[in-house]
Structure 1
Amino acid sequence: MENSQNTTKWFSLAGIWFGGIVSVPALLVGSTLIASLSFGHSILAGLVGFSFVVLFMSLLSISAVEKRKATVSLASSSFGDHGAKLIVGLVIGLSTLGWFGIQSNIAGASFSKILIEMNGPEIPVWLSSVFWGIIMVLTAVFGFKYLKWLNYIAVPAIVLLLIYGLVVTFKTHSFQEILSFKPQEKMPLLQAISFTIGFISVGGVISPDYNRFAATKKDAILGSIFGIIPSALCLLAIGAILAITQGTYDIVDIFSTLGFPFFAMSILILATWTSNVMNIYSSGLAFNDLFKLNNSQRSKTTLVVGLVGILLAALGILTHFMSFITLLTITITPIAGVMISDYYISKTYQDMPQKVNWKGVISWASGVILMLVMTSQIKNILGIIVAALVYYLLQKIMK
């Protein structure tokens, strides 16, 4: 890693994270929470959850800047070389694959709805999801270098669409109406916090992949804070406001009712497209590493993984959005606990790792099992702490 590359300032990193957050699922978090929480409690859940992820993200980023290593390389010390590739690579590969399925499903649902709104043919959502999934996979395989330009158009376009949505909304609704909204169902606040942690937990764990290029540790931390918390909170709030005022929690419905269906849906699909190509690219990369394939095989791996993602979209993974996020939190957050414990608590980080570090594997598994069997609403936070604690104790006992 040349030093010249390690000069990224905090505002550039914040821009990368901002671009990753500005997506349809971020709105979906708001519209999902508002179904069973008041507006104030939804914002509070987001603030606590996102801050918690940014906290462990900052710790991982400091070690990434000090070592100039990506996530899987950093995890090699605590999981072992093979252990990191298998556990960390597999979890990242599967989670980004799941996100790909969800976003292809959103694009498909949007597309089918536009056509009906414009008195066009009625195309089943599964077929639209397959069509857009194929386009996104092909972009990841063949046109990745053009993605940057797609991003330059998509991110400002979705920001303008959201501003437009708010302007239209507040012409006929007051902010007081949003503040006094009472949901029909009830969700415990801690469960909502867990849900918001799950939404960006993958980003938190893979943050070293991007933040290792920061000029200083301070740049890495500031980039994470300003790139994630304001944008994620704003999108959560907008998703909630639109859901309250439009009387539906279906994000596709919301944008259809705002008028200009073709314009709104085009932007929605464009925004989904850019973040989704990143998902399937990361997933292909993770599986390529996992199976120890040559870098020249990456495009083929991405294609195969993409087909699995398209199948998930066709089967309607979007309807399992809450369950998917819960599963993500259970498997991915304990990884951060083990890595933080290795670097900061037991201070046993090694640049030359062993093949499999069973202490890390057992610690991660204990965090996952705890989160699976516990019914407590704070299990997501406990999962990280227990994984970190078990690792520290195993290092002490087995020295």
Structure 2
Amino acid sequence: EYKYENRLTFTGTITVNDSESNSIAQGDWTPSNQILTFSGVKVVYSGTTDIYPLDSDFDVNIINEESTEWEDLTSSGENISIDITTAAVTNIDDTYTLSIINIPTGGTDVSNSTFHIKTDNTQPTISSLTSDTHPNQSTWYTATSANFSWTILDGESGIENTWYIWDRNVDTDLVTTLSDGTQISSDTMTIDSIPEGSSYLHLATKDNCGNTAFDTYVINIDTGNPIFNSVTSTTHSNQANWYSSNSATISWTTSDTGSGVLDVWKLLDQNESQTTEQVLALGEESSANDSFTTPELTDGIWYLHLVVQDNSGKTAYARYTFKIDQNSLDIVSITGLYNGVLQNVDSGPIISWTDPNSISDDTFYITNDGTTPTSTTKTR
């Protein structure tokens, strides 16, 4: 007589599904820490396909290579249903062993059921994201066309896709690139007509288990020189006029559409001409938008030479001229006939005087009615 009461086994075929009901086959790659449901088999007495032990006579256990265990305590007459969580580490062959446990004394588990899963918890790598046309990310270039190349590696589940975004936003991140980026299958690309300033190539890749990698490459373009937007003076506003004030205040503003303004160098002297190199070497460094008040200066024509330099080394030159004359005019000697004497001999007396030779030149005013001459009461 055949005895089956003490030997238990499984009937059916193990099925494994993820949380979205996708079927997982033997040897498939799965993400780490993913919930999978094991089912498809029932516990029966050995030698039968439809004679089931009571729930009180068995439980079903699953254990993986990391010694994590899960159990189903109520599956008599029905397929088991056990939710497991895949390993938190990469394992290229993680074995899940199904066992029948808690059998009454004398009973045995004669099943031999295992399921193999590959777990991928390793990020892919983006290596050698470079540009042969713009090899230094901190350097400013004038070439507005850039070549890029990169290498993407994944030694486990393999690469699903790669995406890129080309923009002027340094803060574009992995999530944005994955959701809004353009898929690319090549490992090279060329970008043309790059505008002034900094532009960014954001590259994101994802493997078949959802692990991701992200990298960004910056291209800095500066094709134009910086400029002086304005150079003005509140004390000597007209560069052609002479002023008695011997101290001048001069202000300037600058801009640069590419690398940005580094600083401004200023050189004060009485040389009408200075080279950019001389101003940079001999001048004093100031801010991009600033003002300067001179010390008290001697009479004469003075020049404030200004050089603005951007972060790529390009420059622009400006000069402000101001004229100072503090001399008080003094007509030292006036001579002529009949000074202070009434006479009718000469209706047009000849008068002469000394010219004080002002540095700013001078104009003489004369009256013949006994009043003090001014620029509005003169007769010539």
TM class by smaller structure: under 0.3
TM-score normalised over the length of structure 2:
0.16
User: TM-score under structure 1 normalisation?
Assistant: 0.15
Q: Considering fraction of residues, name the structure with more strand.
A: 2
Which of the pair has the greater relative contact order for Cα pairs under 8 Å at 6+ separation? 1
Higher percent of residues as helix: 1
